[in-house]
Amino acid sequence: MPGEDVWQLFDLGAGLSPADLSTHLSKVTKLCKAWFSADGVSLFVRLEDSDAFVLAAQSGADRELPGASSFRLGEGIAGTVARSGEPLILNGPVDHPQVGRSGGPPIGSSIVAPLTATDGETVGVLNMTRNLGTPRFQEEDARTATALSRHLGFALANARLVARLHASAERERAMAAQTNLILNSLHVGVLVVDAVGRIEQANGEASRFLRQSDSDIVGESWLKIVGRLPKTLGRALKTAHDSALRGITQRHDLPKVAGRYLTAYTTPVPRGGVLLVIEDHTEQLETERELQRSRRMAEIGQMTAALAHEIRNPLTSIRGAAQMIAADNSLEGAKKWASVVEEEALALNSLCDQFLEIARPLSLHTDDVNLNALLETLASRTRLEASENVSIEFRPLAGKPIIKADGPKLVQALRNLIRNAIEAMPDGGELSLGLRRSKGFVRILVKDTGIGMTDEQVAKLFTAFFTTKPKGTGLGLCNARRVVEAHGGAIHVKSRVGRGSTFEIRMPLEASA
């Protein structure tokens, strides 16, 4: 009878690797050989999700058991036992490949017992043989073997479950490691605060943002971490987190701390808690600012060149007039040339005024502006000023399109566009003013059926002193753009030679004035 220690062998549970399992099964066959005084013992194990059984362990020095190292459910003696789940004693000379190979010492007796799992499935077959001439297996041996193999069946099924658990835990660990790798390679801070306010997950960037150091903040209390931050930043982050707790996904621009510009994006997590993504866009802002600065420098360069050119014309006239005065002795002549000097000086003066107008920083005085009313007024005023062969149309937008803007400055900008449109239609045409609503924007359209522009012309628009008109200043569009951009808006142009042009002003619905 098996001793106490055999049952320990069947404790095939936690921590068993496939290699451990095969060593274990080898021990089982060895012990069975001793206890049952068998000459050969072999143990077949069913492959997972299959009806194939393969030899997993064997014991019996004199014979290489069995003839067949694998079989299928229902196939041969072992296959039949596996299907029926009933053990079998075979007595008398046995010659079957699954029991003993012909050629070795003849077999006199054999027990074939199924290994049955809790759910009744046969997960293996235990096969023991005694040689001819030794005592045959008895009913009692068969009973013990059955009890043993049932136990072994449970243990095997158990080991499989554990292996499966291990595998899925391993997969999960690998996934978590991969997720961490991804999170840590991001240049944004990512953290999850769970439903009870504990930091459940945080990448390196998040730790750096929130602690200004590299040490991990996972497992810490969110409120505690936030409490240690500079006051304004901490409060803003708390507000951001709380809004997500109420189920709101939002973007929050955080107060500037230590010269850094941070933005937090918060999203409620379905199982409770909040996902926070914190982005530092200081570098991006600086690059943009640098770009703007260099653009401005380039503009100043262009403008200076244009200004010098503009000054030279009147100066040449003045010089000419001065020479004429010097050469002309008559008072009449001197008077005539002096008036030329005066005229040109006036022109220079007005040039200076206009130049100063675009060079001076713009300050806005904003109020609610009803764009329907504003455009209506502009349309009727233009009807009075324009010649009869130009028709002026405006269809108001349904509802009250009200924006925050500096009304008089906006009128000034629009008048520049309208004047250009009228000037582009010397032979008449149609000027239409329009309003459209887009997401977050109102678009004001100024459309003419005039001469239009080439692509080269369009590219030069908005540059100071660019004009194609004999008496043009080339400052109208420059001014219009300045006003619109000061409101956080933008101007776009579409034009076709001979067909006309459309200028579009996009004004944000909540003008950042």
Q: Are 81 and 145 a contacting pair, CB within 8 Å?
A: no
To Mg ion, the closest distance from the beta carbon of 476 in angstroms equals: 3
Rounded Cα gap, residues 112 and 90, in angstroms: 8
Query: Closest by alpha carbon to 425, among 462, 474, 382, 377?
Result: 382
Q: Are 474 and 367 a contacting pair, CB within 8 Å?
A: no
To ligand ADP, the closest distance from the beta carbon of 475 in angstroms equals: 6
**Residue from 74, 93, 227, 472 in contact with ligand ADP (CB under 6 A):** 472
Rounded Cα gap, residues 81 and 123, in angstroms: 11
Residue with Cβ nearer Mg ion (158 or 420): 420
Q: How does strand 390-394 pair with strand 429-438?
A: parallel
Residue with Cβ nearer ligand ADP (333 or 472): 472
To ligand ADP, the closest distance from the beta carbon of 465 in angstroms equals: 8
CB-CB neighbours of 310 under 10 Å: 20
Residue with Cβ nearer ligand ADP (164 or 499): 499
**Residue from 60, 108, 474, 489 in contact with ligand ADP (CB under 6 A):** 474
Residue 420 interacts with ligand ADP (CB under 6 A): yes or no: yes
Rounded Cα gap, residues 42 and 53, in angstroms: 12
Structure tokens at 209: 């943002």
Residue 469 interacts with ligand ADP (CB under 6 A): yes or no: yes
Query: Closest by alpha carbon to 480, among 311, 362, 377?
Result: 362
Beta bridge partners of 278: 189, 264
Q: Are 96 and 81 a contacting pair, CB within 8 Å?
A: no
Stretch that binds Mg ion, among 150-158, 395-403, 412-420, 428-436 (CB under 5 A): 412-420
Q: How far is CA 231 from CA 31, 197, 223, 237, 428, in A?
A: 73, 19, 12, 10, 64
Stretch that binds ligand ADP, among 2-10, 206-214, 268-276, 416-424 (CB under 6 A): 416-424
Binding map of ligand ADP across residues 315-344, x = CB under 6 A, - = no contact: ------------------------------
Residue with Cβ nearer Mg ion (76 or 474): 474
Stretch that binds Mg ion, among 324-332, 358-366, 413-421, 502-510 (CB under 5 A): 413-421
Q: Which residues contact 128 (CB under 8 A, 6 or more apart)?
A: 32, 33, 36, 38, 40, 41, 110, 111, 113, 137, 145
Stretch that binds Mg ion, among 243-251, 314-322, 428-436, 468-476 (CB under 5 A): 468-476
Q: What is the identity of the amino acid at 426? A: P
Stretch that binds ligand ADP, among 161-169, 378-386, 393-401, 464-472 (CB under 6 A): 464-472
**Residue from 123, 217, 262, 461 in contact with ligand ADP (CB under 6 A):** 461
Rounded Cα gap, residues 483 and 409, in angstroms: 7
Q: Which residues contact 8 (CB under 8 A, 6 or more apart)?
A: none
Measured at the CA of 345, the angle between CA 340 and CA 346, to 5 degrees, comes to 100
Residue with Cβ nearer Mg ion (382 or 420): 420
Residue with Cβ nearer ligand ADP (199 or 306): 306
The CB-nearest residue to Mg ion is 476
Residue with Cβ nearer ligand ADP (155 or 417): 417
164 conformational bin, left if phi > 0, alpha if psi -120 to 50, beta if neither: alpha
Stretch that binds ligand ADP, among 99-107, 125-133, 259-267, 472-480 (CB under 6 A): 472-480
Residue 474 interacts with Mg ion (CB under 5 A): yes or no: no
Residue 450 interacts with ligand ADP (CB under 6 A): yes or no: yes
CB-CB neighbours of 38 under 10 Å: 26
Q: Are 135 and 164 a contacting pair, CB within 8 Å?
A: no
Q: Where are the beta strands (DSSP E) in 270-333?
A: 274-280
Query: Closest by alpha carbon to 74, among 45, 53, 92?
Result: 53
Residue with Cβ nearer ligand ADP (134 or 473): 473
**Residue from 40, 476, 489, 500 in contact with Mg ion (CB under 5 A):** 476
The CB-nearest residue to ligand ADP is 476
Rounded Cα gap, residues 231 and 193, in angstroms: 20
Residue with Cβ nearer ligand ADP (237 or 431): 431
Which residues, numbered 42-71, are part of the site for Mg ion (CB under 5 A)?
A: none
Find which of Mg ion, ligand ADP, none residue 450 binds, CB within 5 to 8 Å per kind. ligand ADP
Residue 314 interacts with ligand ADP (CB under 6 A): yes or no: no
**Residue from 42, 378, 448, 481 in contact with ligand ADP (CB under 6 A):** 448
Structure tokens at 379: 């349309």
To Mg ion, the closest distance from the beta carbon of 464 in angstroms equals: 12
Rounded Cα gap, residues 154 and 342, in angstroms: 114
Structure tokens at 215: 């040490």
Find which of Mg ion, ligand ADP, none residue 107 binds, CB within 5 to 8 Å per kind. none
Q: Are 396 and 376 a contacting pair, CB within 8 Å?
A: yes
| Binding-site size, ligand ADP (CB under 6 A) | 23
* Bond into 97 cis (ω within 30): no
Find which of ligand ADP, Mg ion, none residue 461 binds, CB within 5 to 8 Å per kind. ligand ADP
Binding map of ligand ADP across residues 487-506, x = CB under 6 A, - = no contact: --------------x-----
**Residue from 58, 116, 201, 420 in contact with Mg ion (CB under 5 A):** 420
Residue with Cβ nearer ligand ADP (320 or 452): 452
List interacting residues with ligand ADP (CB under 6 A).
416, 420-421, 424, 448, 450-453, 457, 461, 466-469, 472-478, 501
List interacting residues with Mg ion (CB under 5 A).
420, 476
